[in-house]
Amino acid sequence: MQASPEKLLWMYETMVEIRNYEETMANVYLEGKLPPQIQKGLAFDIGSGPVPGEMHLAAGQEPVAVGVCAHLKKEDTVVGTHRPHHFAIAKGVPLDKMTAEMFGKVTGLGKGKGGHMHLFDPEHKFSCSGIIGASLPPACGAGLAAKKMGEDWVAVAFFGEGAANQGSFHESLNLAALWRLPVIFVCEDNNWAISVPKSNATSIEWVADRASAYGIPGIKVANNDALEVYEAVAPAIERARLGEGPSLIEVKTDRYLGHFQGDPEVYRPKDEVSNLRKNDPIPKLAALLKSRGLMTDAEEGVIVARAKERVAGAFAFARQSAYPAAQDALNDVFA
């Protein structure tokens, strides 16, 4: 399936926005966490600053999010992972509310009760989880609901290659295949389950090969490339919309940053990231757009500026928003 010029431009702009979002967050996250303000002996204080807690950023993994979400409509469901920002942005989750949630503000998606790993946007049908492998079962549920309602909506479960060794992966693939649910299982293989490389954790090279065990298509995307993802995913989306059942897709992608911000990455070869960055998918797509005459240098500048402005606006909104009243901690246990 050929991507239309509009889709290509949308993927490009969304990737730029995601990258800028993650880089901005990487800096903001460090505010208030580093010496010398904190106690002696600490290198880093995770519970300080405007954005406390763990922070998992997805710089480098943009092609997975945009290549898949470019096929989706608002009624389609996306369930993301503990590293969820790129998926949320690509699914259309409002940047202001998402950022405010990470700042723990009352204007956040969950009024400050979820934080960065627990972003819930029922309107745009996005959710995620801090638990590895937990995205697959609820995506089956969204797929089942679409099927029962007689809609052609699909559900996407994103998960990492580490999650493919969880029981939930196998249970969900079997269930979705058995019930022919409109689910697209997308394995985001960045080769690292925190510090453990895939070769030390997974018995086969391609998780996608496991699709054959459930009688469903297994699709392999060897390069961290938005257009390649877009084209590879197309038949899986179509199959799901036609009611023919799920597919498993695996994308080899690259994690430019640590597992979480502050990760010393002692496990990673020193030159790995600089080598990965040589294949940065964003300039690659820009070059393609220009070679096809779809974007001029001037237009590129406008797109980049526009994306950065949205990100800056979201961070400003989050900073300016109020914290919830402490007593609000007692509300919302039940709907």
Partner 1 sequence: MSTTRKLTMAQAISEAMAQEMTRDPNVFVMGEDIGAYGGIFGATGGLLDKFGPDRIMDTPISETAFIGTATGAAAAGLRPIVELMFVDFFGVCMDQIYNHLAKNTYMAGGNLKLPVVLTTAIGGGYNDAAQHSQCLYATFAHMPGLKVVVPSNAYDAKGLMIQAIRDDNPVMFMYHKGIMGLPWMAYFEGSSNEVPEAGYTIPFGQAKVVREGQDATIVTISQMVQKALLAADELAREGINAEVIDLRTLVPLDRAAVLKSVAKTGRLLIADEDYLGFGLTGEISATVAENLDTVVLKAPIKRLALPNVPIPYSRPLEQFVIPQVKGIVEAVQKLMQARMAEGVAA
User: Chain centroid to CA 310: how far?
Assistant: 18
174 binds partner 1 (CB under 8 A): yes
Q: Which of 303, 253, 277 is nearest to 86 (CA)?
A: 253
Closest approach, Cβ 75 to partner 1, in A, equals 10
Binders of partner 1 among residues 105 to 164 (CB under 8 A) are 108-115, 118, 120, 122, 125, 127, 129, 131, 134, 136-146, 148-149, 155
Q: 111 or 268, CB closer to partner 1? A: 111
Contacts of 333 by beta carbon, 8 Å cutoff, 6+ apart: none
Q: How many CB atoms lie within 10 A of CB 92?
A: 18
251 binds partner 1 (CB under 8 A): no
Q: 35 or 215, CB closer to partner 1? A: 215
User: Chain centroid to CA 62: how far?
Assistant: 8
Tell me how far apart the alpha carbons of residues 24 and 257 are, in angstroms, rounded to a whole number.
Answer: 13
Q: How many CB atoms lie within 10 A of CB 232?
A: 21
Q: 142 or 219, CB closer to partner 1? A: 142
Region from 172-180, 234-242, 282-290, 291-299 binding partner 1, contact rule CB under 8 A: 172-180
Element of type H or E holding 126: strand 126-127
72 binds partner 1 (CB under 8 A): no
- N-terminal to C-terminal alpha carbon distance within the chain: 42
184 binds partner 1 (CB under 8 A): no
53 binds partner 1 (CB under 8 A): no
Closest approach, Cβ 335 to partner 1, in A, equals 4
Region from 65-73, 170-178, 216-224, 310-318 binding partner 1, contact rule CB under 8 A: 170-178
Contacts of 20 by beta carbon, 8 Å cutoff, 6+ apart: 307, 308, 311
Number of residues that bind partner 1 (CB under 8 A): 44
248 binds partner 1 (CB under 8 A): no
Element of type H or E holding 273: helix 272-277
Q: What is the phi/psi pair of residue 186, to 5°?
A: -115, 110
Closest approach, Cβ 244 to partner 1, in A, equals 18
Residue owning tokens 């699914």: 91
Site residues, partner 1 (CB under 8 A):
77, 79, 108-115, 118, 120, 122, 125, 127, 129, 131, 134, 136-146, 148-149, 155, 167-168, 171-172, 174-175, 178, 331-335
